[in-house]
Structure 1
Amino acid sequence: MFNTTLDYNGVTWSIGLLVIVVLYVLRPYLRVVPLKSLPYAPGPPMRPFIGNIMDIGAGKLWLKLTDYKYEYGDLVYLQGLGKSILVVNSLKAMTDLFEKRANKYSDRPILVFGNDLMGINRNFSFCDYNDEWRAQRKLAHTALNLTAVKGYYGMQEDVAAVFARDLLQAPGNFMALMRLTASKIILAITYGISLDTPEDKYITILEESSRLGVKAAMPGTYLVDFLPILKYAPSWVPFQREAKYASHLMELSITGPFEHVKRDLEAGTAPPSFVQQLLTDPLHDIADFERRVKWAAGSMYGAGAETTYATVMTFILAMALHPGKQRLAQAEVDRIVGMDRLPTIEDRSRLPYVNALIKETMRWHPAVPLGVAHRNSEDDEYEGYFIPKSTLVIPNVWAIAFEPNEKYDPQAFLPERFLDPSQPTVDPSMWAFGFGRRICPGRFLAENSIFIIIATLLAGFNIAPPDTGELKAQFSSYLISYPEPFDCQIVPRSGIKASMIETRAAQSTI
Structure 2
Amino acid sequence: MTPTTEMYFWDLAKYGEMTTLHLGSKTWIFLNSKRVVAEIIAKRGSMTNTRSPMPVSSGIVSHDRRSLIMPQEAWAEPRRVMHSLLSGTALQQYGEWQEMESTQMMAEYVLKPRSWYRHHYRYANSVIHRIAFGERLQKSTKELEDMQNCVTFFVGSIGTSIIDWFPDLAKLPKFLQVWRLYWTPLGDWNYDVYRSWWDPIRRQVEEGTAKPSFVRDVLLNPETKYSGSDEDAMYVALQLIEAGSDTTREALNIMVMAALEHPEVFSKARAEVDRVCGTGPDARLPRLSDMEQLGYICAMAKEILRWRPIFVVTPDHTASKDFEFEGYTFPEGTGFVINEVPVGNECERPDDFYPERWMDGHETDIAHGLWQFGGGRRICVGYRLAQRSLFINIARLVQSVDFKPAGFYNPKVLNLEAVNEPFPVQVTMRSKDYENLIIREAGVAGVMEDAKLVRDTL
The answer to whether the superposition gives a TM-score over 0.5 is yes
SS at match of 1:94: helix
**1:351/1:143 Cα in 2 relative to 1: closer, same or farther (>3 Å)?**
closer
1:282 aligns with 2:225: no
Cα drift, residue 105 of structure 1: 0.8
Is 2:399 the partner of 1:462? no
Match of 1:166 in 2: 108
- Name the CA distance, whole Å, in 1 between partners of 2:375 and 2:237: 21
Name the structure 2 match of 1:318.
258
Distance 1:289 1:259, change over 3 A: same
Which residue number in structure 1 is paired with residue 10 of structure 2? Answer: 66
**Equivalent residue for 2:52, pick from 90, 109, 114:** 109
Which of 79, 86, 109 aligns to 2:29? It is: 86
Give the counterpart letter for 2:425 in structure 1. C
Maintained 8 Å contact 1:310/1:481: no
Alignment counterpart, residue 431 of structure 2, candidates 484, 494, 503 = 494
| Equivalent position SS for 2:394 | helix
CA–CA distance in 1 between the matches of 2:408 and 2:220? 55
Change (3 A) 1:93 1:175: same
Change in Cα spacing, 1:235 to 1:337, as seen in structure 2 (3 Å) is: farther
Q: What does 1:393-472 correspond to in 2, within 5 Å?
A: 393-405=336-348, 409-419=349-359, 429-430=368-369, 431-466=371-406, 468-472=407-411
Alignment of 1:299-448 (within 5 A): 299-339=239-279, 340-405=283-348, 409-419=349-359, 429-430=368-369, 431-448=371-388
Aligned residues: 438
**Which stretches of structure 1, 4 residues or longer, exceed 6 Å deviation after superposition?**
229-237, 480-484
Contact 2:77-2:228 at 8 Å conserved across structures: no
Which one is further off, 92-101 or 176-185?
Answer: 92-101
Q: CA deviation at 1:509?
A: 5.1
Residue 473 of structure 1: aligned partner: 412
Distance 1:126 1:481, change over 3 A: farther
SS of the residue aligned with 2:123? helix
TM-score by length of 1: 0.78
Deviation at 1:245, TM superposition (A): 4.2
C-alpha distance after superposition, 1:462-487 (max 9, x if no partner):
11111x3345331469xx99998212
CA contact (8 A) 2:255 2:304 kept: yes
Residue 344 of structure 1 and its aligned partner are, at CA, apart by 0.4
The 2-side partners of 1:505 and 1:115 are apart by 42
Structure-2-length-normalised TM-score: 0.86
- Residues 324/249 of structure 1: CA separation in 2 closer, same or farther (3 Å cut): farther
Cα distance in 2 for residues equivalent to 1:482 and 1:91:
34
Letter in 1 for 2:184: K
- The 2-side partners of 1:75 and 1:395 are apart by 10
SS state at 1:265 partner: helix
Alpha-carbon displacement from aligned partner over 1:275-315 (angstroms, at most 9, x marks no partner) = 12246631364333533332221221222222212211111
State the shift of 1:201 in Å.
4.7
- Compare CA radii of gyration and give the structure with the larger one: 1
Question: Does structure 2 conserve the Cα–Cα contact (< 8 Å) formed by 1:476 and 1:483?
Answer: no
Displacement of 1:227: 4.1
Structure 1: give runs of 5+ residues left out of the alignment.
1-57
Per the TM alignment, residue 393 of structure 1 is displaced from its structure 2 partner at its CA by: 1.4
Q: Deviations over 1:304-341 (max 9, x none)?
A: 22221221111111112222211221122112111321
Report Cα offsets for 1:414-444 as digits up to 9, x if no partner.
22333379xx9x9764322221111111111
Q: CA 1:268 to 1:82, structure 2 compared with 1: closer, same or farther past 3 Å?
A: closer
- 1:403: how far off? 0.9
Contact 1:191 1:275 in 2 (8 A): yes
- Which secondary structure state, in structure 2, belongs to the residue aligned with residue 122 of structure 1? coil
SS in 2 for 1:283: helix
Contact 1:112 1:225 in 2 (8 A): yes
- Secondary structure (helix, strand or coil) at the match of 2:69 reads coil
**Given the alignment of the two structures, is residue 503 of structure 1 paired with residue 440 of structure 2, yes or no?**
yes
Counterpart for residue 453 of structure 2: none
Residue of structure 1 equivalent to 2:145: 204
Structure 2 equivalent of residue 485 of structure 1? 422
* Alpha-carbon spacing, 1:358–1:200, altered in 2? closer, same or farther (3 Å): same
Which deviates further from its counterpart, 97-106 or 335-344?
Answer: 97-106
Q: In 1, Cα distance between the equivalents of 2:38 and 2:190?
A: 33
Counterpart check, 1:140 vs 2:82: yes
> Within 2, Cα distance between the matches of 1:224 and 1:74?
29
| Letter aligned with residue 216 of structure 1 | S
Q: With CA pairs under 8 Å and 6+ residues apart, which has the higher RCO, 1 or 2?
A: 2
Q: Which residue of 2 aligns with 1:129?
A: 72
Contact 1:209 1:246 in 2 (8 A): no
CA distance in 1, matches of 2:5, 2:50: 22
Q: Deviations over 1:350-396 (max 9, x none)?
A: 11222222222121012222123211123333222232322221011
Do 2:84 and 2:218's aligned partners in 1 also have CA atoms closer than 8 Å?
no
User: Root-mean-square deviation (CA), in Å?
Assistant: 3.1
Among all aligned residue pairs of Structure 1 and Structure 2, give the percentage whose two residues are the same amino acid: 26
Contact residue 370 and residue 394 of structure 1 kept, 8 A: yes
